[in-house]
Amino acid sequence: MNAKAIDQETLLKNERDPLTHTPVHLLSLEGVGKHYGNIIALSDVTMAVDNGRVTCVLGDNGAGKSTLIKIIAGLHQHDDGVLNIMGEERKFGSPRDALDAGIATVYQDLAVVPLMPIWRNFFLGSELTKGFGPFRSMDVEAMKAITLKELAEMGIDLRDVEQPIGQLSGGERQCVAIARAVYFGAKVLILDEPTAALGVKQSGVVLRYILQARDRGLGVIFITHNPHHAFPVGDRFLLLKRGKSIGYYDKKDITLDELTAQMAGGAELAELAHELEQLGGHGEVVKAVKAEVADVDDTVNAGGPKHT
Amino acid sequence: MTTIQTKLTPPAGDERVARRSALQKLLGRPEVGALVGAIVLFIFFALVSPTFTQPNALATVLYGSSTIGIMAVGVSLLMIGGEFDLSTGVAVISSALTASMFSWYFSTNVWVGVILALLVSLAIGFINGWILMKTKLPSFIVTLATFLMLTGLNLGLTRLIGGSVSSPSISNMEGFDTARGVFASSVNIGGIDVKITVFIWIALVAVATWVLMRTRVGNWIFAVGGDANAARAVGVPVKATKIGLFMGVGFCGWILGMHNLFAFDTVQSGEGVGNEFLYIIAAVIGGCLLTGGYGSAVGGAIGAFIFGMANKGIVYAQWNPDWFKFFLGLMLLLATIVNLIVKRRAELK
């Protein structure tokens, strides 16, 4: 067990962009924090995103994942720390700013308007136009054709892009949203819990699109609470808990089991075992939980993940 | 749905789409319920009243429809954009009063007053939208407040400046005749006098339909009404779009206000109260969802036409006009239920 947390030095000084070979990240956060009034939603988060890499952000509900993406997507502004895009410090005033900087976000609710046709959703906010002055109109035919083609490339074969997007299944809508981001030249793609509401099969499909986006050279930020979804596709893993970073690992330095253990939190499991014992009558369950606790302890005691 | 792996299941996934016939596509349009209603109503009045189908009577029905329909264009677009406006009825009168009182008091050419009225109407729309965006209050509250304030201003200022509840006559003033020509003349088509508002109405519907269906702004209007947060997240200027819609309503109110002024030569300062509901009813009967994101300008026009037919048709049929309001309420209820079914079906997963 040799999981090694990436410390700030290695992260920000010695990593090189795989495409440009410059020591600059596509996007990086250094000690970023955010508070709402006296509530500290996020503090001291450091992470980086590079071309063709997937950075996973893991954490339970309320860990600060949503706050983190809102800062990167321009919906909120951070109060502490630095947000760098291609080595240049930025603070986004609006989602438009973030989009213009090449950061596209696929939200949990997908940011699609259910009653609108698929093609109108696909181009919403970035419509193609033709003509000049007051007679500038949308190039409807071109937009429909592009929508159809882009979705076909994603493996969604639709005959009718006029149907309301609300009629598609959750996985399909997810893919439309990803295809949209890819088409509009996103450099960084943020996926907010894309697999949360999906079944096993559809989750697999969405994970495949994440890899497809990565292979096209995008930097992907994959937000999830499921280490089983994160591990196979991720290159780096940032673990959040109660608004703080509890670990930041390279894939080569951590195993799925360690990741799961970190997520689950050994202390919570021990407490659960204790409570079950007090209630009595759950002999089998208690044994199982205790075994799990021992497992987690092993991982931690073996000098594994350092809590930063 | 398993269509996600259509790569593996070749054309099988397509037939489900191809099955939609032309008829089903037509039935999916927002205004189809209103269109069916309009046809039924037309046939009904044609049967009970022989005079109803006379060209002169039709011109009258169209004129009645246009005075509602001009406003219904702006109100429909606003409703598709997810808001509605209770101040429209009195804002029309505010616009007319501004034009007449200003040019009368300062003895200017009436066209100066007309231009000033346009600015005032656009400003009322802007203020409605701006307060709404700043406070994030429901549009019901904000526009109810402007409705009350405008009602008071109309009465108060008219009495303060002119000393009467109606504006002084401006028929002898410079520019009155040309303004009447633009806003309140008639066009003779084959011996039938058709009011110019009918043509303005049709032109506005055509422009609004083009904007909705074929321009970026139209896409944004649907989006801010359908899901403002989603629209904002993909970079749609939500605030500007909504404020613009309120200003569009202001523009329509200006046209109708000018017509009211120049069709006669004075304006009653207490008029207009209650008309805002007629515009909203026209939009709703025409298939615009009260919750936004769905509807059409043509629908609003059909809604206004239904209103005009019912309003005049009852007179031609020589019935007691008391029944009119009951009928209007029934239409509204039926139209809303049809809309609800349409929306449920559209959101069906």
Does residue B9 have a pLDDT over 90?
no
- The pLDDT tens digits of the residues spanning B74-108 come to 999 999 999 989 999 999 999 999 999 999 999 99
* Contacts for A55 with CB less than 8 Å, ≥ 6 apart: A47, A48, A49, A219, A220, A221, A222, A234, A235, A236, A237, A238
Task: Note whether A175 contacts B231, CB cutoff 8 Å.
Answer: no
Q: Among partner residues B14, B222, B348, which is closest to A157 by beta-carbon distance?
A: B14
Task: Note whether B230 contacts A163, CB cutoff 8 Å.
Answer: no
B4 CB within 8 Å of a chain A CB: yes
ipTM score for this prediction: 0.78
Task: Note whether A113 contacts B229, CB cutoff 8 Å.
Answer: no
From CA B341, how far away is CA B286, in angstroms rounded? 14
- The pLDDT tens digits of the residues spanning B180-206 come to 999 999 998 888 889 999 999 999 999
Q: Among partner residues B4, B218, B234, which is closest to A172 by beta-carbon distance?
A: B4
From CA B20, how far away is CA B293, in angstroms rounded? 23
Q: Which positions in chain A touch B20 (Cβ < 8 Å)?
A: 160
CB B271 within 8 A of CB B93: yes
CB B34 within 8 A of CB B299: yes
| Averaged pLDDT, B159-163 | 88
Both tokens of A153, joined, read 């490339």
B321 CB within 8 Å of a chain A CB: no
Does residue B7 have a pLDDT over 90?
no
Task: Note whether B223 contacts A160, CB cutoff 8 Å.
Answer: no
Q: Among partner residues A109, A114, A169, which is closest to B347 by beta-carbon distance?
A: A114
H/E element, A246: strand A244-250
- How many interchain CB pairs under 8 A, A with B? 122
Q: Is the pTM of this model over 0.95?
A: no
Does residue B289 have a pLDDT over 90?
no
